[in-house]
Amino acid sequence: MAWTFGHFRLDPEQFQLTRDGSPVRLEPQVLSLIIHLVRNRHRMVPKDALATAVWNGAVSDASIASRIRSARQAVGDDGTRQSVIQTVHGRGFRFIAPVTDLRPATPEVTRPDDIAQSADLSRPSIAVLPFRPLGAMPDLAILAEAIPHEIIQALSRMRWLAVIARGSSFRFRGPETDLDLVGTALGAEYVLSGLIEIRDGSIVVVLELADATRGEVIWGDRLTAPPAGIEDLRQRIVARVVAALDLQVPQHAARIAALGSSEQLDAWANYHLGLSQLYRFTPDANREAQHFFERAVALDPRFARAHAGLSFTSFLDAFLHLGPDDRAAVTAARRHAERGLELDPLDAFTHYTMGRSFWLTGDPDAAATWLHRAIDLNPNYAQGFYASAFTAMLSGKTDAVAAGLDRALNLSPLDPLLYGMHGVRALSLIQTGDTRAAARWADRAANTPGAHYLIAMIAVVANGLDGRHQQAARWRQDVRRRKPDAAAAHFFAAFPLVDTDTRTRIGDELSRQGF
């Protein structure tokens, strides 16, 4: 048995790799590694299995990473392109280049379960390294490991992300981090690192999230606190990291996926491309998002988050009247959310979409139950807090609205639903009779990128109730430009307020404004 791939011929019996007929000089362990990967190319090879086959089990992660780099160099590959040897994040490696058997063997049969597992293995993986303490204080050394440990525990709640265990990632200590080494050794696509020091009497923590396969920093932050506020600082760091990953990793994954061929994208890549279209709130963007989520489901029918994504697009069809049939969209939003929950009852996003589906049927109490569950599953879920505040606003629970929105904004100050957070606050202030503050928040909401025509209608109402007629007229024109047939019925379908007095005041104002 021998194999060919590209310009190479691999002969395990002769223990030789040649390129265009010329031998390629390799260390025996590197050649053994390549042979083992090619022989098992129909499946992913776990790191433990590779260590047993090549080193008889006694090998460090750094040694595996070093030999993988040498193997890639030998076959014209690298850690960025990965067109021959692919890292399966958090699990192992796979030989993915097309191979021809010079004496074809009986083909292996691929089971449906293998397809689903393959799609699941493509989810992103992250390694959280111990922070680097700058200074000799013992407390800094303790915090440098305690805070990353808490981050690992919090990230483990995020079902869409594979988190490398502390026992593996904490082996990488040192003044400088070799991202390629960490990513290859641990099979991690992303690496979170940090510095901690005492500066000018304050504790300073600098965070950095990097794409290990490309050597790119995709997010960073700096947090400070006085020594007496260390517990609050620890909580803020964990919350900030969780919220940032929930936003930054999908956006980064979508950018990378958009550069590739659509036929080669896996379920997770299609899912992230769907997310990138989800917050544009136009009929075309929503159809595009739906297309990507449907492709993700076709590739992996048991992909819970892709079903939840379909629930989200159906919700937008009904909420913003983007599709041809609002009633069918309401039904689809509930159906897709239920399917997502069947597949993964512990995912916060699926509970979020289920809760929002109850907004469409005017049942805020049922919505609140599902949204509270989403927050229980992920206590740092910014959009979960926002959705809970929205639900409390519908029920007239103004104290809960303020608390939920403050929490959401603290977790995700640049959230794609920021306009909604401001709009919900404006509606809550209308309920309490503070029309001046409501008008300020409504203007802020309507001026925030992504704001749709319903947010502009809130600005019309708030400014009109506060006697700011010129500003109300400006937003009225904006609504008519975006949706010429906008009416009070659309407003109350989206915001089914329970309090009759508030509904009457808003309805009267909408009527005065010509809606």
3-state DSSP of 141-160: HHHHHHHHHHHHHHHCCCCC
Are 236 and 327 found together in one domain?
Answer: no
Are 186 and 71 found together in one domain?
Answer: no
Residue in this structure with the two tokens 């909420």, named with its chain if needed = 319
Do residues 226 and 244 lie in contact, with contact meaning Cβ atoms separated by under 8 Å? no
- The domain boundary, picked from 239, 255, 271, lies at 255
How far lies 365's CA from each of 271, 354, 369, in Å? 30, 13, 7
φ/ψ region of 187 (left if φ > 0, alpha if ψ in -120 to 50, else beta) reads left
268 inside domain: yes
114 inside domain: no
Do residues 122 and 269 lie in contact, with contact meaning Cβ atoms separated by under 8 Å? yes
Residue in this structure with the two tokens 């629970």, named with its chain if needed = 397
Do residues 301 and 261 lie in contact, with contact meaning Cβ atoms separated by under 8 Å? no
Are 272 and 337 found together in one domain?
Answer: yes
pLDDT of residue 158: 85
Residue in this structure with the two tokens 């009929």, named with its chain if needed = 283
CA 411 to chain centre: 14
| Rounded Cα–Cα distance for residues 392 and 364 (Å) | 8
Any idea what the CATH number is for the domain that residue 332 is in? 1.25.40.10
Among positive and negative, which fits the CA dihedral 374, 270, 417, 220? positive
The one-letter amino acid code at 175 reads P
Are 220 and 274 found together in one domain?
Answer: no
Any idea what the CATH number is for the domain that residue 230 is in? 3.40.50.10070
Q: Between helices 28-39 and 61-74, what is the axis angle to 10°?
A: 80
67 inside domain: yes
Are 331 and 385 found together in one domain?
Answer: no
Token representation of residue 333: 């939003």
pLDDT of residue 431: 95
Residue-number span of the structural domain to which 221 is assigned: 125-255
Are 367 and 283 found together in one domain?
Answer: yes
- The domain boundary, picked from 326, 346, 377, lies at 377
| Rounded Cα–Cα distance for residues 448 and 421 (Å) | 10
| Rounded Cα–Cα distance for residues 141 and 145 (Å) | 7
Residue in this structure with the two tokens 């063997």, named with its chain if needed = 105
Assign 3-class secondary structure to 172-235.
CCCCCCCHHHHHHHHCCCEEEEEEEEEECCEEEEEEEEEECCCCEEEEEEEEEECHHHHHHHHH
Burial of 11 (0-12, 13-18, 19+ CB in 10 A): middle
Are 195 and 230 found together in one domain?
Answer: yes
What are the residues facing 134 on neighbouring strands? 197
Cβ density class 51-87: b for 16+ within 10 Å, e for less: bebbbeeebebeebbbbbbbbbebbebebeeeebbbb
Are 248 and 344 found together in one domain?
Answer: no
Pair type for strands 45-46 and 92-95: antiparallel
296 inside domain: yes
pLDDT along the chain (515 residues), means of 10: 88 85 87 88 82 74 86 89 86 89 48 38 80 80 90 87 85 73 78 91 92 86 90 90 88 78 72 88 92 93 94 94 92 96 92 94 91 91 93 92 92 88 96 96 95 96 96 97 93 91 96 96
pLDDT of residue 120: 45
Are 78 and 51 found together in one domain?
Answer: yes
| 422 backbone dihedrals φ, ψ, rounded to 5° | -70, -40
- The domain boundary, picked from 377, 394, 426, lies at 377
Please give the tally of structural domains in the chain.
Answer: 4
Q: pTM above the 0.75 mark?
A: no
118 inside domain: no
Are 404 and 427 found together in one domain?
Answer: yes
Do residues 352 and 387 lie in contact, with contact meaning Cβ atoms separated by under 8 Å? yes
Are 93 and 202 found together in one domain?
Answer: no
Any idea what the CATH number is for the domain that residue 73 is in? 1.10.10.10
| Rounded Cα–Cα distance for residues 7 and 46 (Å) | 27
Element (H, E) at 10: strand 8-11
120 inside domain: no
Are 337 and 212 found together in one domain?
Answer: no
The one-letter amino acid code at 153 reads Q
210 inside domain: yes
